[in-house]
Amino acid sequence: MAFAASTACCKPSALLAPRASSSSPLRAQALLCSPSTSAKFHGLRAPASAFAVAPVPRRRAASTGIVCGKVSKGSVPPNFTLKDQDGKTVSLSKFKGKPVVLYFYPADETPGCTKQACAFRDSYEKYKKAGAEVIGISGDDAASHKAFAKKYRLPFTLLSDEGNKVRKEWGVPSDLFGTLPGRQTYVLDKKGVVQYIYNNQFQPEKHIGETLKIIENL
């Protein structure tokens, strides 16, 4: 019976190995150990596809969780109307004609947000001298804002974005882990055009120094 096959085995069989000449004893063994894309058995030929290795599917890259903002530098952000700490309705369009520093922060009374609010308070006269308005926005209600502003003597407007509707419309990203609302500040010029965007979740006081540089040069 004639039989020649390609296998992964490297141990020659005495029954299956072809007869080797005395002049090349290793040739028969090499024939059995050499890979081939075809095999013969009683005149049948196995297709090459039978030896094909299935491709390994590529793993999809994990999402970074980072959300690109809808409001960008050079754009005019959408107008909004929200309640301030006194329960009065305030529209962004009201401030057209003067520079605006509008900062989104996670929540009242948290350590980072308190530091940021107090830093804006301590530099508030510099903003006023530059003719700018400072506005803080979070998802807290008006009563929470009022208590927060009173406790820390905040002289600027705090707006209540309950449900984070404005935050979503502006495309403010969440923090690095996607668990908390992000901390992002926008500087708008007198025409309402965004001139600068600053994001720093873990160094809230830096928002003040960075935005003051921009305001003083508008």
**Angstrom distance (rounded) from CA 37 to CA 181:** 59
At 201 the pLDDT is 82
**Angstrom distance (rounded) from CA 131 to CA 18:** 98
At 174 the pLDDT is 86
Residue matched to tokens 């141990």: 11
pTM of the complete model: 0.67
Of 20 and 166, the one with more pLDDT: 166
At 158 the pLDDT is 98
Q: What is the mean pLDDT of the chain?
A: 77
- pLDDT tens profile 24-83: 444 434 333 344 444 443 444 445 444 444 444 433 333 223 334 589 999 999 999 999
Q: How far is CA 143 from the centre of its chain?
A: 32
At 180 the pLDDT is 82
Alpha helices in the chain (DSSP H): 25-33, 111-122, 124-129, 142-152, 165-170, 206-215
Query: Do residues 76 and 169 lie in contact, with contact meaning Cβ atoms separated by under 8 Å?
Result: no
Catalytic annotation, residues = 113
